[in-house]
A = this chain, B = another copy of it.
Amino acid sequence: MLPLSSWVEVPENSDFSIYNLPYGIYSHAKYSPAPSVGVRIGNFVLNLQQCAKHPDFWADIAFDTSVFAQKSLNAFMACGRPVWRAVRERLTDLLRHNTSYTLRHLHEHAVSVGQSPYLIPVEEVQMYLPIEIGDYTDFYSSIEHATNVGTMFRDPANALLPNWKHLPVAYHGRASSIVVSGVDIHRPKGQIKPADAPAPIFTPTRMLDFELEMAFIVGKETALGQSVSTAEAHDYIFGFTLFNDWSARDIQTWEYVPLGPFLAKNFASSMSAWVVTLDALEPFKVDSPAQNPEVLPYLQYSGQYNYDIQLEVFLKPEGGQEQQICSSNFKYMYWNIAQQLAHHTVNGCNIRVGDVCASGTISGKETNSYGSLLELTWKGTNPIRMVDGSERTFILDGDVVIVRGFAFKNNVRVGFGEVYAKVLPAL
């Protein structure tokens, strides 16, 4: 990796160094009243619509810069991996010290006359869901999470079901209710069946939980009937976000047999605003855990498809201060993204640009690395003590849940910022 630095000021420990350059959808009252594509660097958003006014920045890249004026990343993603790579390289060239491009001068001249159309302070923008989501799939790929859940709800001696080590279990989730970081969530209502009750009751959930997940975004479509091999998976994945798959455990317990989770999950999921590209994560690749038994040939792969990404969850009570309640890592995933995509399409299921595939809850081996309150408090039996003296088994109204994530190696930090949401009372 060449040492790089930018003429844009990037605070130390920023998730958004020049090595990152994630994409998002933002608006700004003056410089982009309609949502459009921006790139985050330090505490600024690079206005790509404005940059598109300079054809010399893009002349040798075979794409239409009008994709930067769209209200989602889908049109840009549909340009394909060669364009993703070329644009990323060009953005690096535009933003690096000793650049031969005029962006720096354009920006500095604008600033000198009181304008900032190129680099907009992030505190002045509104962020939006970056993707127009087609289908949303949620995997269940952390062996520690699946083992914990199986131990609590089924049989500690046979915590993993027979299929779990043979295929990356997944289900289809709800796309309509995926919201961007910062959107408040109402506590969902639904049917639960208390153990001592003769019949189900209707109530706001009493066991509201988060799930610490990441999600990859599909950037290339397939035709119905076509499959994507593990070796091809890389070309179909644009990037990653942080993901919180809110879950109502009491609703889930009552409803989920035999067809899986429905109302326990589909009231909301939260996604971080900046999509970090696979290319930016390349330096942080690591091996996957060994798989035993050996998987079927269509799930075998060569190369590395896991990433060393530190993940942390914080809880902030109403009026209180945030406190870390879990620390996990994406690298714990038993099933990697190449295997997930190969499995998803092996039956001919078609994928589309903008599909979202979440990881499932990412738990590690240590008890403080569990990615949900269900596991952290062991079904509510072991409450978390908060610094304000209160306890948590599940999430209370007024709580803010914040997930943060970043990769760090050789003094280079590439992070996701955060996905946060406040839980409001049931409507």
A157 within 8 A of B: no
The listed residue (B134, B167, B260, B293) touching A191 by CB distance below 8 A is B167
Distance (whole angstroms) from the CB of A361 to the closest CB of chain B: 12
Which residues does chain B contribute within 8 Å of A297, judged by CB atoms?
202
A280 within 8 A of B: no
Which residues does chain B contribute within 8 Å of A347, judged by CB atoms?
188-190, 248, 251, 263, 266-267
Using A255-B169, A349-B263 as known contacts, say yes or no to A177 and B343 having CB atoms under 8 A apart: no
Which residues does chain B contribute within 8 Å of A255, judged by CB atoms?
163, 167, 169
Interface-lining segment among A41-49, A89-97, A350-358: A350-358
**A169-197 vs B, Cβ < 8 Å mask (1 yes, 0 no):** 11111111101000100101111010000
Interface size on A, residues (CB 8 A): 63
Please state if B176 and A352 are interface contacts (CB–CB under 8 Å). Answer: yes
The residues in A between 130 and 165 inclusive whose CB is less than 8 angstroms from any CB of B are: 134-135, 140, 161-163
Distance (whole angstroms) from the CB of A271 to the closest CB of chain B: 14
A101 within 8 A of B: no
The residues in A between 208 and 260 inclusive whose CB is less than 8 angstroms from any CB of B are: 224-227, 248, 251, 254-260
A303 within 8 A of B: no
In the assembly, how many copies of this chain are there?
Answer: 2
Distance (whole angstroms) from the CB of A15 to the closest CB of chain B: 27
| Best-surrounded residue of A169, A170, A224, A348 (most CB of chain B within 10 A) | A348
| Best-surrounded residue of A134, A191, A251, A293 (most CB of chain B within 10 A) | A191
Which residues does chain B contribute within 8 Å of A268, judged by CB atoms?
224, 348
A297 nearest in chain B by CB position? B202
Distance (whole angstroms) from the CB of A193 to the closest CB of chain B: 7
Distance (whole angstroms) from the CB of A248 to the closest CB of chain B: 7
Known: A190-B347, A260-B260, A263-B347; 14 extra A-B contacts, CB below 8 A, are A134-B176, A163-B200, A166-B200, A167-B191, A170-B259, A171-B262, A183-B224, A186-B225, A188-B347, A188-B348, A202-B296, A202-B298, A251-B347, A259-B260
- Between A and B, 17 residue pairs with Cβ closer than 8 Å are A135-B176, A163-B200, A163-B254, A172-B174, A176-B350, A177-B224, A177-B349, A186-B225, A189-B347, A190-B346, A191-B296, A202-B297, A224-B268, A225-B427, A263-B344, A266-B349, A348-B427
